[in-house]
Structure 1
């Protein structure tokens, strides 16, 4: 059986796995974005707190498989451990970019907003966050790329997604379709990553004011 025949024979299962993969990654990115922005808002004015949030991105240097394994005793097997691990991996780059973006807002613009009577919360919501959104979105894109790949490792602890297809191929390398399974799962993850990236580029075009686009 050729690879294309394998895809034709298994396309429904692969599509279902891709949907489950996306169904884990996208909510985790959304939660990580909300938490990351909140961390940025709380910490960017404080020197040490902001620096700590920026430095926290080094947490992603911990091997993803090791992090997932350490969470198993707490969250068990399946989707819960995958959700926790992905959210934790997505949070640092978004928080870092939120701090950097908010710190990079021109103080003169904030002073002008203060001068016309805007409250602190109004300045944050109407001036600082919109101007900081491009770097925040860059962090979201980086986190999404990372989580799309890391989600495949969740199959090792019975997590959902295209990682199951890869794991099945690796678990039985002597099977004639083992390579097809690994390749199908890998290409599926790459395709999802490209779709997510295209979606976030569109989000950027819709949410970033033309005058501040990079």
Structure 2
């Protein structure tokens, strides 16, 4: 394959590539947001308990050991094909890094700081919302960052379940090996996933700088 074939393929399918790229990023972001809500709630519930933290982390780790094809195969009979099994699988895979980092971030808060806050009359929820979570935020964001990079690749496999995104382009190319457009299809989908993952990673860095206090960054 030469670059001329690749360029011709990209030029002829710009709209499809833009649509697939948007769907890929959208599915990953939505899954990470949902996973963050669940994972942070779990982290808040267990971070004061070593046993609870160990159990939550172990369960999330166990999910991550299940191969993507196997998990999707289990979800398809229950949720059907398409977006629902795809997003469910992505949320489950994203839990571990976010739960682990939430626990680490909350556990790293100096007890003297929370005791002082309680001493001036702040409620338990006030301490959590105004002191503990802001201090833990950089750690939580790092977990989200790891989860996002991981899901960008996993979502490509979700084409097996008719999921959205660039995986369909890769699978279509691989299924047509030998045809003139097979390699351009698979290569274009793969390169776009890598580029989009790098763009999202840069956005996370920017979000971290904008949402983390100078004292915590230093």
Which aligned pairs between 1:87-166 and structure 2 lie closer than 5 A? 87-166=91-170
> What is the CA distance between 1:57 and its match in structure 2?
3.9
SS in 2 for 1:2: helix
Structure 2 partner of 1:200: 204
Give the TM-score taking structure 2 as reference length.
0.94
Deviations 1:147-175 (A, max 9, x none): 11111111111111100100001111011
Give the TM-score taking structure 1 as reference length.
0.96
Structure 1: gaps (5+ residues): none
Structure 2 partner of 1:27: 30
> Quick check: 1:86 aligned with 2:87?
no
> What is the CA distance between 1:56 and its match in structure 2?
3.3
Q: Distance in 2 between matches of 1:131 and 1:53?
A: 21
Which aligned pairs between 1:9-88 and structure 2 lie closer than 5 A? 9-58=12-61, 59-88=63-92
Deviations 1:23-75 (A, max 9, x none): 21111111111111111111111221112123334221221221111111111
Q: Distance in 1 between matches of 2:200 and 2:67?
A: 23
Runs of 4+ in 1 over 6 A off after TM superposition: none
Structure 2: gaps (5+ residues): none
Asked whether the equivalents of residues 54 and 99 of structure 1 are also in contact (C-alpha less than 8 Å), the reply is no
Structural RMSD (CA): 1.2
Deviations 1:175-200 (A, max 9, x none): 11111000000011111111211111
